[in-house]
Amino acid sequence: MASNLKYLAIMDFTTIIGLEIHVQLQTKTKLFCGCPTTFNPDQPNIQTCPVCLGLPGALPVMNRDAFALSLKTAMALNLELANFTKWDRKQYYYPDLPKGYQISQYDLPFSSKGWLEIDVPSTGETRRIRIIRAHLEEDAGKNLHDESGRGSDSQVDLNRAGTPLLEIVSEPDLRTAEEAKTYMEEMRLLLLAIGVSDCNMQEGSMRCDANVNLHVHENGETIPTPIVEVKNLNSFRFLEAAIEFEVKRQCAEWQRTHIRMGAPGGYKTTRGFDPNRGVTFEQRGKEEAADYRYFPDPDLVPVTVTDEQLVAIRSTLVEFPAARRRRYQQQLGLSAYDARVIADQGAEFANYFDAVTSLCGDGKQAANWLTQDVLREMNERRLSISEFPISSALLGALLVRVTKSELTIKAAREVFATLLKEWEEQEVAPSAERIEAIIKERGLATVNDTGAIESVVMAVIGRNEKAVADLRAGKMQAIGAIVGQVMKELKGADAKVVRQMILDKVGIS
Amino acid sequence: MLTTQDVLKVAELGRLKLDDEEVAKFAGQLGGILDYVAVLDEVDVSNVAPMAHVADVANVFREDVVVASLPRAASLSNAPKTDGKFFLVPQILEHA
Amino acid sequence: MSLVTSTTSELLGQLASRSVSAVEVTQSYLDAIQRRDGQVGALLSVTADSALAQAAEVDRRRAAGEAVGALAGLPIVLKDNICTQGIKTTCASKMLKDFVPPYDAHVATRLKQADAILLGKANLDEFAMGSSSENSALGKTVNPWSFEHAAGGSSGGSAAAVSAGFAPLALGSDTGGSIRQPASFCGVVGLKPTYGRVSRFGLVAYASSLDQIGPFARDVSGAALLLDAISGHDRRDSTSVDAPPTLTAATVEQPLSGLRVGIAREHFVAGLDPEVEAAVRRAVEVYKSLGATIVDISLPHSKYAIAVYYLIACSEASSNLARYDGVHYGHRATEFSNLVEMYKASRSEGFGDEVKRRIMLGAYALSAGYYDAYYLKALKVRRLIRQDFDAAFQNVDVIASPVNPTPAFKLGEMTADPLKMYLADIYTISANLAGLPGISIPAGMSASGLPIGLQLLAAPFEEEKLLRAARMFEREHGPAPMSWKSGV
Ligand SMILES: [Mg+2]
Ligand SMILES: [Zn+2]
Going from the first residue of chain C to its last (488 residues), give the mean pLDDT of each consecutive group of 10, the final group possibly shorter: 85 96 97 96 98 98 96 98 98 98 98 98 98 95 96 97 96 98 97 98 98 97 98 98 96 97 94 95 97 97 96 98 97 94 97 97 96 97 98 98 97 86 92 98 95 98 98 91 58
Distance between the two ends of chain C, CA-based, in angstroms?
Answer: 9
CB-based contact C367 B6, cutoff 8 Å: no
Helix runs in C41-174, H state only: 48-63, 106-113, 156-163
Candidates C237, C342, C364: best to mutate against B (most CBs of B within 10 A) is C364
DSSP C199-241: --TTBPPSSTTT--EEEEESSHHHHHHHHHHHBS--TT-TTS-
pLDDT of residue A479: 87
Q: What is the pLDDT of residue B86?
A: 97
Judge whether residue B95 has pLDDT over 90. no
Residues of chain B found within 8 Å of residue C103, distances taken between Cβ atoms? 70
Question: Which residue type does B13 have?
Answer: L
CA of A73 to the centre of ligand 2 (A): 24
- pLDDT at residue A481 greater than cutoff 90: no
Search chain C and give the residue with CA nearest A153: C339
Confidence of residue A410 (pLDDT cuts 50, 70, 90): confident
pLDDT for A345 equals 87
Going by pLDDT thresholds of 50, 70 and 90, the confidence category of residue A457 is: confident
The catalytically annotated residue of C45, C136, C154, C163 is C154
Shortest CA gap C308–chain B (Å): 8
DSSP 8-state symbol, A117: E
Residue by residue, what is the 3-state secondary structure of A78-103?
A: CCEECCEECCEEEECCCCCCCCCEEE
Q: Determine phi and psi for A164, rounding to 5 degrees.
A: -65, 135
CA distance C153 to C126: 10
The domains of chain A are located at 2-304, 321-441, 450-506
Q: Catalytic site residue C93?
A: no
Instruction: Give A12 to chain B, closest Cα distance, Å.
Output: 31
Catalytic residue among C28, C163, C178, C315: C178
- Determine the residue of chain B that is closest to C334 in CA distance: B80
Three-class SS state of C67:
coil
pLDDT at C487: 39
Q: Sorting pLDDT into bands at 50, 70 and 90, what band is A283?
A: confident
Please tell me the predicted confidence (pLDDT) of residue A287: 46
Q: For residue A206, how many other CB atoms are within 10 A of its CB?
A: 23
C381 chain-B contacts, CB cut-off 8 A? 40, 43, 45, 48
Please tell me which of the candidates B7, B32, B90 has its beta carbon nearest to residue C338.
B90
pTM of the model: 0.88
Mean pLDDT for the stretch of residues B1-22: 95
DSSP structure string for A190-241: HHHHHTS----TTTTSEEEEEEEEEEEEETTEEEEPPPEEEEEE-SHHHHHH
Q: In this complex, how many residue pairs, one in chain A and one in chain B, have their CB atoms less than 8 Å apart? A: 129
* pLDDT at site A54: 98
Which of B15, B91, B96 is facing A153, going by the closest CB pair?
B91
Which residues does B contribute to its contact with A (CB < 8 Å)? Answer: 13, 15, 52-53, 55, 57-72, 75-76, 81, 83, 85-92, 94-96
- Looking at the domain A450-506, which fold is it? Arc Repressor Mutant, subunit A (1.10.10)
Residue A199 has what pLDDT?
A: 96
Determine the residue among C174, C360, C377, C389 to mutate to test chain B binding: the one whose Cβ has the most chain B Cβ atoms within 10 Å.
Answer: C360
Respond yes or no: is residue C465 known to be catalytic. no
Q: Domain map of chain C by residue range? A: 2-261+394-486
Considering the four listed CATH numbers 3.30.450.20, 3.40.50.620, 1.10.3720.10, 3.90.1300.10, the one that applies to the domain covering C2-261+394-486 is 3.90.1300.10
Contact C208 A299 (CB under 8 A): yes
pLDDT category at A2 given cuts 50, 70, 90 is very low
Q: Do C83 and A56 count as a contact with CB atoms less than 8 A apart?
A: yes
Give the closest of B15, B33, B50 to C344, CB-based. B15
Q: Cβ B15–C364 below 8 Å, yes or no? A: no
DSSP state of C376: I
Q: Which of C9, C28, C45, C79 is catalytic?
A: C79
ipTM of the complex: 0.97
A199: left (phi over 0), alpha (psi -120 to 50) or beta: left
| pLDDT value of position A255 | 92
- Chain B residue numbers touching C383 (CB-CB < 8 A): 48-51
Residue C50 falls in the annotated catalytic set: no
Measured between alpha carbons, how far is C65 from A144 in angstroms, rounded to an integer? 57
Confidence band, pLDDT 50/70/90 cuts, at residue A285: low
Q: What is the pLDDT of residues A186-215, one digit of tens each?
A: 999 999 999 999 999 999 999 999 999 999
- Average pLDDT of chain A is 91
Crossing angle of helices A409-421 and A432-441, rounded to 10°: 120
Residue B96: which pLDDT band, with cuts at 50, 70 and 90? very low
